[in-house]
Amino acid sequence: MTPSWASSGLPLFIFLFFVVFHRAQLTYWLGRGAAKGALASAGKNGLRGKIAAWFEGPVPRYGARLLEQWGIVIIPLCFLTVGVQTAVNAGAGVVRMSWKKYTLAMIPGCIAWSIMYGLGMLAVWMAVVRAAAGSVWAWLGLLAVAAVVATLVLVKRRRGRGSEQSLEHG
Protein backbone atom coordinates (compact mmCIF):
# COMPACT_ATOMS: atom_id res chain seq x y z
CA MET A 1 0.00 0.00 0.00
CA THR A 2 1.35 3.39 -1.00
CA PRO A 3 1.54 6.05 1.74
CA SER A 4 -0.80 9.04 1.33
CA TRP A 5 2.09 11.47 0.73
CA ALA A 6 3.16 9.39 -2.28
CA SER A 7 -0.16 9.09 -4.07
CA SER A 8 0.98 10.56 -7.40
CA GLY A 9 3.65 12.38 -9.33
CA LEU A 10 7.29 12.60 -8.29
CA PRO A 11 6.69 11.45 -4.68
CA LEU A 12 5.07 8.26 -6.00
CA PHE A 13 7.98 7.64 -8.39
CA ILE A 14 10.53 8.18 -5.58
CA PHE A 15 8.61 5.87 -3.24
CA LEU A 16 8.35 3.12 -5.88
CA PHE A 17 12.02 3.51 -6.81
CA PHE A 18 12.97 3.18 -3.13
CA VAL A 19 10.84 0.04 -2.79
CA VAL A 20 12.14 -1.74 -5.90
CA PHE A 21 15.75 -0.69 -5.33
CA HIS A 22 15.79 -2.11 -1.82
CA ARG A 23 13.88 -5.24 -2.79
CA ALA A 24 16.34 -5.98 -5.59
CA GLN A 25 19.34 -5.27 -3.36
CA LEU A 26 17.94 -7.51 -0.63
CA THR A 27 17.39 -10.32 -3.15
CA TYR A 28 20.93 -9.87 -4.51
CA TRP A 29 22.48 -9.97 -1.02
CA LEU A 30 20.37 -12.96 -0.01
CA GLY A 31 21.60 -14.73 -3.13
CA ARG A 32 25.17 -13.75 -2.41
CA GLY A 33 24.96 -14.86 1.21
CA ALA A 34 23.18 -18.04 0.23
CA ALA A 35 25.92 -18.90 -2.23
CA LYS A 36 28.31 -18.93 0.70
CA GLY A 37 25.91 -20.36 3.28
CA ALA A 38 24.42 -22.98 1.00
CA LEU A 39 27.72 -24.79 0.87
CA ALA A 40 27.92 -24.83 4.66
CA SER A 41 24.22 -25.65 5.15
CA ALA A 42 23.69 -28.13 2.34
CA GLY A 43 21.97 -31.26 3.58
CA LYS A 44 21.11 -29.80 7.02
CA ASN A 45 17.65 -29.91 8.52
CA GLY A 46 15.56 -26.97 9.63
CA LEU A 47 15.34 -23.45 8.27
CA ARG A 48 19.01 -23.20 7.22
CA GLY A 49 18.70 -26.37 5.18
CA LYS A 50 15.48 -25.18 3.53
CA ILE A 51 17.02 -21.82 2.63
CA ALA A 52 20.12 -23.54 1.27
CA ALA A 53 17.93 -25.90 -0.76
CA TRP A 54 15.94 -22.98 -2.25
CA PHE A 55 19.10 -21.22 -3.38
CA GLU A 56 20.36 -24.45 -4.89
CA GLY A 57 17.00 -24.88 -6.59
CA PRO A 58 15.55 -23.91 -9.95
CA VAL A 59 14.80 -20.18 -9.40
CA PRO A 60 18.34 -18.90 -8.67
CA ARG A 61 19.79 -21.38 -11.17
CA TYR A 62 17.42 -20.01 -13.82
CA GLY A 63 18.55 -16.47 -12.99
CA ALA A 64 22.20 -17.49 -13.19
CA ARG A 65 21.58 -19.18 -16.56
CA LEU A 66 19.88 -16.03 -17.87
CA LEU A 67 22.86 -13.96 -16.72
CA GLU A 68 25.25 -16.36 -18.39
CA GLN A 69 23.24 -16.44 -21.62
CA TRP A 70 22.30 -12.75 -21.95
CA GLY A 71 24.96 -11.02 -19.89
CA ILE A 72 24.47 -7.96 -17.78
CA VAL A 73 21.71 -6.59 -20.05
CA ILE A 74 19.26 -9.08 -18.51
CA ILE A 75 19.41 -7.23 -15.18
CA PRO A 76 17.58 -4.03 -16.23
CA LEU A 77 15.34 -6.02 -18.60
CA CYS A 78 14.15 -8.34 -15.83
CA PHE A 79 12.37 -5.40 -14.20
CA LEU A 80 10.02 -5.30 -17.20
CA THR A 81 8.77 -8.80 -16.43
CA VAL A 82 6.69 -10.49 -13.79
CA GLY A 83 8.35 -13.45 -12.12
CA VAL A 84 11.85 -13.17 -13.57
CA GLN A 85 13.12 -10.34 -11.33
CA THR A 86 13.68 -12.52 -8.29
CA ALA A 87 15.45 -15.20 -10.31
CA VAL A 88 17.81 -12.74 -11.99
CA ASN A 89 18.54 -10.65 -8.88
CA ALA A 90 19.15 -13.73 -6.73
CA GLY A 91 21.14 -15.28 -9.58
CA ALA A 92 23.40 -12.22 -9.71
CA GLY A 93 24.14 -12.75 -6.04
CA VAL A 94 24.59 -16.49 -6.40
CA VAL A 95 27.18 -16.03 -9.16
CA ARG A 96 28.79 -13.33 -6.96
CA MET A 97 28.60 -10.55 -9.56
CA SER A 98 30.37 -7.49 -8.21
CA TRP A 99 28.05 -5.24 -6.22
CA LYS A 100 29.05 -2.10 -8.13
CA LYS A 101 28.45 -3.69 -11.55
CA TYR A 102 25.13 -5.19 -10.41
CA THR A 103 23.90 -1.95 -8.87
CA LEU A 104 24.81 0.13 -11.93
CA ALA A 105 22.97 -2.38 -14.13
CA MET A 106 19.86 -2.52 -11.96
CA ILE A 107 19.29 1.25 -11.62
CA PRO A 108 17.80 1.66 -15.15
CA GLY A 109 15.54 -1.32 -14.42
CA CYS A 110 14.42 0.24 -11.14
CA ILE A 111 13.62 3.48 -12.94
CA ALA A 112 11.61 1.64 -15.61
CA TRP A 113 9.78 -0.41 -12.97
CA SER A 114 8.92 2.73 -10.98
CA ILE A 115 7.55 4.43 -14.07
CA MET A 116 5.57 1.36 -15.12
CA TYR A 117 3.98 0.91 -11.71
CA GLY A 118 3.57 4.64 -11.10
CA LEU A 119 1.70 5.17 -14.35
CA GLY A 120 -0.20 1.91 -14.15
CA MET A 121 1.70 0.77 -17.23
CA LEU A 122 2.27 -2.71 -15.86
CA ALA A 123 -1.46 -3.34 -16.07
CA VAL A 124 -1.47 -2.00 -19.63
CA TRP A 125 1.59 -4.11 -20.55
CA MET A 126 0.01 -7.27 -19.13
CA ALA A 127 -3.26 -6.52 -20.99
CA VAL A 128 -1.29 -6.21 -24.25
CA VAL A 129 0.47 -9.52 -23.59
CA ARG A 130 -2.84 -11.24 -22.81
CA ALA A 131 -4.46 -9.76 -25.92
CA ALA A 132 -1.54 -10.84 -28.07
CA ALA A 133 -1.75 -14.34 -26.65
CA GLY A 134 -5.18 -14.78 -28.28
CA SER A 135 -4.23 -13.33 -31.66
CA VAL A 136 -2.75 -15.41 -34.46
CA TRP A 137 -1.22 -12.28 -36.02
CA ALA A 138 0.41 -11.29 -32.74
CA TRP A 139 1.89 -14.78 -32.37
CA LEU A 140 3.18 -14.66 -35.95
CA GLY A 141 4.72 -11.25 -35.24
CA LEU A 142 6.38 -12.56 -32.08
CA LEU A 143 7.59 -15.60 -33.99
CA ALA A 144 9.11 -13.34 -36.66
CA VAL A 145 10.87 -11.24 -34.01
CA ALA A 146 12.15 -14.41 -32.30
CA ALA A 147 13.44 -15.73 -35.63
CA VAL A 148 15.33 -12.50 -36.30
CA VAL A 149 16.84 -12.51 -32.79
CA ALA A 150 17.79 -16.20 -33.08
CA THR A 151 19.41 -15.58 -36.46
CA LEU A 152 21.41 -12.65 -35.09
CA VAL A 153 22.55 -14.70 -32.09
CA LEU A 154 23.61 -17.62 -34.30
CA VAL A 155 25.50 -15.34 -36.69
CA LYS A 156 27.26 -13.67 -33.76
CA ARG A 157 28.23 -17.03 -32.25
CA ARG A 158 29.53 -18.36 -35.56
CA ARG A 159 31.61 -15.24 -36.11
CA GLY A 160 32.97 -15.59 -32.58
CA ARG A 161 33.91 -19.23 -33.15
CA GLY A 162 35.51 -18.38 -36.48
CA SER A 163 37.72 -15.72 -34.92
CA GLU A 164 38.65 -18.10 -32.03
CA GLN A 165 39.65 -20.81 -34.52
CA SER A 166 41.68 -18.40 -36.61
CA LEU A 167 43.54 -17.29 -33.46
CA GLU A 168 44.28 -20.92 -32.54
CA HIS A 169 45.52 -21.80 -36.02
CA GLY A 170 47.11 -18.45 -36.80
> What does pLDDT average to over the chain?
78
- Asked if 80 and 154 sit in the same domain, the reply is no
The verdict on residue 109 lying in a domain is yes
Residue pair 78/116 in contact (Cβ under 8 Å)? The answer is no
- Asked if 115 and 149 sit in the same domain, the reply is no
Domain tally, the chain = 2
Sign of CA dihedral 113, 114, 116, 120: positive
pLDDT of residue 100: 93
- Asked if 105 and 153 sit in the same domain, the reply is no
Alpha-carbon gap, residue 144 to 166, rounded angstroms? 33
- Asked if 36 and 99 sit in the same domain, the reply is yes
Beta carbons within 10 angstroms of residue 32's beta carbon = 20
Domain limits for position 36: 4-121
Alpha-carbon gap, residue 112 to 123, rounded angstroms? 14
The verdict on residue 96 lying in a domain is yes
pLDDT of residue 116: 84
**pLDDT range class, residue 10, cuts 50, 70, 90:** confident
**pLDDT tens per residue, range 79-133:** 988 778 888 998 898 888 889 999 999 999 999 999 888 777 666 666 766 777 7
- Asked if 141 and 115 sit in the same domain, the reply is no
The verdict on residue 54 lying in a domain is yes
Whole-prediction pTM: 0.59
How is residue 1 annotated by DSSP? -
